[in-house]
Every structure is written in C-alpha cells, then in structure tokens.
Amino acid sequence: MKHLNEIINEGARGTLISTIPPFTLPAWTSIFTGVNPGKHGITDNIIRIGDEIRPALSMHRKVPLLWKLVGNFGLKPIVVNDPVTYPPERINGIMVTGFLTPPNSNSYVYPPEIKEEVDKASGGYLPELPLDYDRLIAHDRKEAYDAIQRFAQKTADLALYLMKNHEWDVFDVTFTSTDRLQHFYWHDEHSLREHYIWLDSIIEKLAHLASDEQADIIIVSDHGFAPIRRSVHINTILANEGLIQIRRSKLMSLLNRLGLNSKSLSSLLRHKNLHEFVLELLPEHLRQAIPSKESEFIFGQYIAKLSSAAGIFIAHDLCSNYEAVRNHIIHRLLSLKDDNKNVMAGVYKREDVLWGPFTSRAPDLFAVPSEGYYLSTHMKNEVFGFPLQSGSRIPRTGGHRMQGIFVAYGPDIKEEYTLNRDIRTWDIAPTILRLLGLPIPRFMDGNIIESIFREGRPGDRHFTHSQKTEAETDIR
C-alpha cells in the first residue's frame, strides 16, 4: 500500500486500543462520541434493556455524535457509511448511513432531497452487504468477492463525489469491506492483496482532495485482525460447570439422523410453499425444539450463558451469590489451556472496563480470547472445534484483535512522529474537535492526542459564551 505507507511515514502514527469487546458497534460509537461504552450505552452487539436482551441499535446511543457537535458551531460535516448511524440524523451537513441500515430501506440519506444525487453518484448506494453474505461465499467465493468489491466501490465513488461537489469542514468515510473480507478470506492472499491495493488507490485520491483543502487527515480502525485456528464452545464449559441446563431428546437425535434440522426443514417447507403456514400454526416451544444444524442440544434455564462472541450474561435472580458465580467463571476460563497455551487473553467484570450510567446494559462478564481463537455461542460435545460460520458452515478464518491503527497527517501534524503510548477509541473525537478549534465537552472521556501537533498548531476559533456553555454542558 504505497500511498498509505507514505502517509504513515511522513505523518504521526500509533496503536489504537479498541473497546472491550473489540466489536464494530461499541468501538465506532466510542470513536465518534469520545466516551466509553458504559456512557454511550452501546456496550456490545447485544445489550440488556430491563429484563430483555436485544440487538444494539443507534436508538440506544445516549450521547451525541461528533457530527452533531460540529454542526452546533455552524461547521458542515459530511458522513459516509458510518456504522450505527441509521436512521440518518438531522445534522448541519450530509449523512449517508452504513451498517445496521435495514435491507431495502430507502431512508439512508440526510437531507432526504439529495438521495437521488447520492444514488446516481454511487451507481445505486449500498449501506451494507446482505447480512447473510457468507452464504454467497459458500456458493461461489469469486462471485462473493466481486460483490464485496462492488459494495466498497460504491462507498468510494460516493465519498469522492461528495468531497468534490459539496461544501464541508470535516469529512468522514468508513470502509467496512476489509472487515467483511478478512473474516472469511484471511488465507486468500490474492484476494486480500487485490482489495487492499484498490483501497490504497482510493486513499491516494481522498488524500489529494484533502490536501487541496489544506485539511488534516486521520486514519483509524475500530480494531485489528488476526487469524483464527480454533473455536471455543464457552457454553459447553458453562454447562459442564452446572450453569446451563441442556436437553438432548430422542426426537432431536432422530431428526438429526434423518438429516432434518432447522435449516433443512425450513428449505423443505419453502420448496413446498408451506413455510409461513406451518410457522404460524407451530407453537414457539415446538419451533425451538427443532435442532439447528450446528447442534442437537436445546438450551434450558441458565445461570450464565455466552450470548455474543464475547459477552456472558448472568441471570441474577437465579444466583444465590452473584459475585461467587462471576469469580468462578473467571477462574475457570482463565485456567483454560490448549496445547499448554492460555486460551483466554482476559475475562473482565463489566465494571472493571466500563464506567457510566449504562454499564448495566453490558454482559456481566466480557471474555476476550487469545489470538487464534473464536468464541462460539453454540453448544457442542467438545470444548474445542473448527471455527465454522453459523448457517453457511464455511470456515471463519479471521477475527478481531484489540490492536488497531492510528495515523495522522497534514499541516497541523508533526512529521515522522511515532507516539510513545497507546491511544483509546474515545481519544479520537476530542482530537478532531481540537483540530477544528472547537471546545471539548466535559462529558467526553477521551484525551486530546496533543503530542502529534506541530508547535503552535492548531489555532483556536472564537465562540460566543452561549456556544461554549452548550458544548461544555454535561450529559443530562
């Protein structure tokens, strides 16, 4: 990546440490709010709201995005393909949403009157790949790669168009295609190299347009990537510890031997045009009794259960001693070995890594595996297995790691500078505000990365007393 390499070598660089867990939703939300997940409320891909565990959405975010703050001072942001931004917010600029935009939605642009322009510039904008794009990979890897490439090209075409043709003070574009590829193409060097060389050409074009405006450039990733060798069935361990009740009925075993499971039965019913009819008649408990292709076990009542790829939720009302249960799980998982190597990099109580009014939304424990391991929510006979994607059954070859990247370059940034400390996701927003000469709200957790600035830069803007008061007000 020639052009990215030039930016790295000529500017400032460092290691960005992701959120715990290092997932898209909490990490990008921290990057663009300046606070830790316990304060913004998106603590994992799934969160606890009252007694329910549900998917995290932008509606659950409880602090304003950077783009809203910038607009409050009359500056114009353009935001393209940011995760966790649907529905698009009313900002003093342009917002085109990305990940978590519902399939077939037509409401992904603010202001809505430029939607036709957005679609024309991008050749038909795609906020995200289909959520089951792994099934396309299972069918035809080359065809799936081409689909991912087309998705990324639409993002790039739109970003370049808006950057050239609309006024902006801060411009943001997020590319998620690298993540989508690396989960399943990690060992396909040709495909990854081809995509990254293409992305480098887009970075060159974006950097030239930024330089024309004397703008500073910041490049960050929400997390890093590493290869996966083995899956770890945490719920199998919890069941062995008596924390999950499981059932394995004769009916389920018989259905599996006949090749009938939730996927094959669903396909059969759809073929006969009976799917919706049968699902409407079948009671919920019978629907759940059909074994999945991944497992012939049924989860019963649980005290503790891995419900996301990192989050262990505990049923407080079933615990006679909540802290004893947590401590027991931590000790059991940290002692887990594979070929005499530690399987877990860490197991954390939520209050030890999060703070703020929404910490209670998080899983009770976060389990972070060592590199090479993937935590599966499925129940198996064995603790370790080969990492397969649920549904498509294709190998999951790459997974998230805590270390991401931070790069800065431009008229306000030191040349050939390497940070001597790691930075956190929530340091990015206050640093951008500082580059724009804007005050930093008191509610932000992040620190300005002051050491990257040239002496005497960036300059301060002048604001009215009411503007400063609004920016410095704590979260209500």
Burial class (CB in 10 A: 0-12, 13-18, 19+), 395: middle
Residue type, 421: R
pLDDT at 426: 98
User: Residue 241 has which token pair?
Assistant: 């510890």
Question: What residues are paired with 388 via a beta bridge?
Answer: 395
pLDDT digits (tens, 9 = 90+) for 113-159: 999 999 999 999 999 998 889 999 999 999 999 999 999 999 999 99
* Entry pTM: 0.87
Whether 390 and 199 have beta carbons less than 8 Å apart is answered as: no
How far apart CA 261 and CA 265 sit, in angstroms, is: 6
Q: Nearest CA to 313 among 234, 252, 430, 387?
A: 234
pLDDT at 465: 46
What percent of the chain has a predicted confidence (pLDDT) above 90? Answer: 79
pLDDT at 454: 94
Confidence of residue 278 (pLDDT cuts 50, 70, 90): very low
How far apart CA 140 and CA 338 sit, in angstroms, is: 34
* Range in 138-147, 157-166, 262-271, 327-336 the model is least confident about: 262-271
Residue type, 137: I
pLDDT at 245: 84
Question: What residues are paired with 349 via a beta bridge?
Answer: 365
End-to-end CA distance of the chain: 45
Q: Nearest CA to 216 among 167, 160, 156, 169?
A: 169
Phi, psi of 152 (to 5 degrees): -65, -35
pLDDT digits (tens, 9 = 90+) for 208-242: 999 999 999 999 999 999 999 999 999 999 999 99
* Range in 184-198, 248-262, 336-350 the model is least confident about: 248-262
pLDDT at residue 24 greater than cutoff 50: yes
pLDDT digits (tens, 9 = 90+) for 441-459: 999 999 999 999 999 878 6
pLDDT at residue 102 greater than cutoff 50: yes
Compute the average pLDDT of residues 318-334.
Answer: 96
Instruction: Tell me whether the omega of the peptide bond preceding residue 291 falls within 30 degrees of 0, making it cis.
Output: no
Compute the average pLDDT of residues 103-114.
Answer: 95
How far apart CA 179 and CA 258 sit, in angstroms, is: 37
Confidence of residue 78 (pLDDT cuts 50, 70, 90): very high
pLDDT at 271: 52
Ordered structural domains, the chain, with CATH: 2-223+402-472 (3.40.720.10), 229-398 (no CATH)
Q: What is the largest CA-CA distance in the chain?
A: 75
pLDDT digits (tens, 9 = 90+) for 369-417: 999 999 999 888 899 999 999 888 999 999 999 999 999 999 999 999 9
Phi, psi of 237 (to 5 degrees): -65, -45
Whether 348 and 366 have beta carbons less than 8 Å apart is answered as: yes
pLDDT at 284: 41
Whether 115 and 99 have beta carbons less than 8 Å apart is answered as: no
pLDDT digits (tens, 9 = 90+) for 287-325: 444 555 555 566 678 999 999 999 999 999 898 899 999
How far apart CA 42 and CA 48 sit, in angstroms, is: 10
Q: Nearest CA to 295 among 381, 231, 237?
A: 381
What is the residue whose two structure tokens read 């898209």?
A: 24
User: Residue 285 has which token pair?
Assistant: 């408990």
Whether 114 and 78 have beta carbons less than 8 Å apart is answered as: no
pLDDT at residue 246 greater than cutoff 80: no
Q: Strands, DSSP E only, in 141-223?
A: 170-173, 217-220
Phi, psi of 104 (to 5 degrees): 70, 10
